[in-house]
Amino acid sequence: MDQRAPLGVILTGGRATRLRPLSEEMPKSLIPLLNRPLIAYAVDLLAAAGLREIVVVVGPDDDRTGPAAVAAAPPGVEVSVAVQREPKGSGDALTSAGDRLAGRHVIVLAVDTILRGDLRPHIEAFVASSMDAWFVLHETDRPREMGIVVLEGDRVVHLDEKPAEPRSNLALVGVWMVAPRVVQEMRAHPLVSPRGEVELSGTLQVMHAAGRPMGGSVFAGDWLDAGTLPALIATQGALLAAPEHGGRATLVAPDATVEECTLGPNVVVGAGAALRRVTLSHALVVAGAHLEGVQASHVIVMGDGQVVSA
């Protein structure tokens, strides 16, 4: 691969506590969205933006995400796996990619960030700039819960994590872009937080406060979230209703069994599941689940048949 080309890095670790009990059955990256794992959406987004080399960072006990990411890669895109040995934060996860980072502009993506639209112009603007970092932003109605940026043109003039008094409603969407010199500094001199972690957003916030130039641009497409159970169900519904999916109300895997059921709106049934005399709406039925005689809404049906409120 051309060492001057930007490198994509997908972060898949973290405890995913807000996705329990789904995240107790599978890594966060394999949680299904329209019967595809989240990692497939992340690979698609970076590949569509023109990146031809992607590193997927996994935890030490995750031997399933890597193969799923490789299987999701389109022709011409090379996917490799790096292991973060301990859960020491997103910045440490990034530097776990090792020498593959050397001399590269790096595009970092959180695996539970779902963007509908084109990321390529943002990457091109960053690479063409002299900025140390670049943030992809979207308007939010919950600025106190997110990293918030104030822009003047394309320059970041203020960056704050979960501010008590937000100065704007432009939030970080889970895409961070960092220049080679910043990556080198993070590898050589990681900034450890009081919690003992190296956080990417925190490191960049400290650098920005020290006067390092950083830029940002507003994402024109849809910013969807899959980081909590309610958000996962809402995002599922938004994607089901999208024109590329036919504006449908349900999606049932070809090998699933559905007998005497009323499904929809917003129901996805996974591979090998079996439903009998079930009425569901706004629901995700995990692959292999068996359920009979239940009426429910806004739920996750787990692989063992347990029905969990979402």
Count of CB atoms situated within 10 Å of the CB of 137: 24
CA 3, CA 52: separation in Å to the nearest integer? 11
Give tens-digit pLDDT for 149-178. 999 999 999 999 899 999 999 999 999 999
* Whether 172 and 84 share a structural domain: yes
Q: Is 230 within the bounds of a domain? A: no
The answer to whether residue 120 is domain-embedded is yes
Pairing, β 106-110 against β 170-178: antiparallel
One domain for residues 78 and 162? yes
Specify if 2 maps to a domain. Answer: no
Instruction: Output 125-130 pairs: Cβ under 8 A, ≥24 positions apart.
Output: 125/154, 125/215, 125/217, 126/177, 126/215, 127/6, 129/154, 129/215, 130/213
Q: How many residues belong to the chain?
A: 310
- pLDDT of amino acid 13: 80
Phi, psi angles (nearest 5°) of residue 238: -65, -40
In a domain, 88, yes or no: yes
CATH code for the domain in which residue 199 is found = 3.90.550.10
Helix 65-72, helix 38-48: angle, nearest 10: 40
The pLDDT, as a whole number, for residue 196 is 87
Per-residue pLDDT at 253 exceeds 50: yes
Q: What is the pLDDT of residue 17?
A: 83
| pLDDT computed for residue 16 by the predictor | 77
The per-residue pLDDT for 194 is 87
* Global confidence as pTM: 0.94
The pLDDT mean for the chain works out to: 94
Spacing of C-alpha 155 from chain mean position:
25
Q: How far from chain centre, in Å, is Cα 219?
A: 15
More confident residue, 196 or 212: 212
* CATH number, domain containing residue 274: 2.160.10.20
Same domain membership, residue 163 and residue 31: yes
Kindly state whether residue 236 falls inside one of the protein's structural domains: no
Of 106, 100, 114, which is closest to residue 36 (Cα–Cα)? 114
Position 36 in a domain: yes
pLDDT (tens digit, 9 = 90+) per residue, 118-130? 999 999 999 999 9
Burial of 228 (C-beta count, 10 Å sphere; 0-12/13-18/19+): middle
What is the mean predicted confidence (pLDDT) over 118-143? 96
Whether 152 and 271 share a structural domain: no
Q: Check whether residue 212 and residue 165 sit in a common domain.
A: yes
Please choose, from the candidates 36, 68, 11, the residue with its C-alpha nearest in 3D space to the C-alpha of residue 232.
Answer: 36
Identify which of 126, 154, 111, 113 has the alpha carbon closest to the alpha carbon of residue 50.
Answer: 126
CA end-to-end span of the chain, whole Å?
A: 43
Q: Which domain holds residue 270?
A: 248-309
Number of domains in the chain: 2
For 19-33, how does the pLDDT look when each residue is reduced to its tens digit (9 = 90+)? 999 989 899 999 999
> Are 142 and 92 within one domain?
yes
**243 is a domain residue:** no
The reply to whether 93 and 138 lie within a common domain is yes
Q: How far is CA 171 from CA 116, 135, 196, in A?
A: 16, 9, 25
CA–CA separation, 233 and 285 (whole Å): 11
Model confidence band, residue 90 (pLDDT cutoffs 50, 70, 90): very high
pLDDT of residue 255: 97
Is 269:283 a contact under the CB 8 Å cutoff? no
Report helix, strand or coil for 121. helix
Over its C-alpha atoms, the chain yields an Rg (Å, rounded) of: 20
pLDDT band at 117 (very low <50, low <70, confident <90, very high): very high
In this structure, are residues 9 and 45 in contact, taking their beta carbons and an 8 Å threshold? no
Say yes or no to pLDDT of 2 above 50: no
166 plus 27 within the same structural domain:
yes
Whether 195 and 51 map to the same domain: the answer is: yes
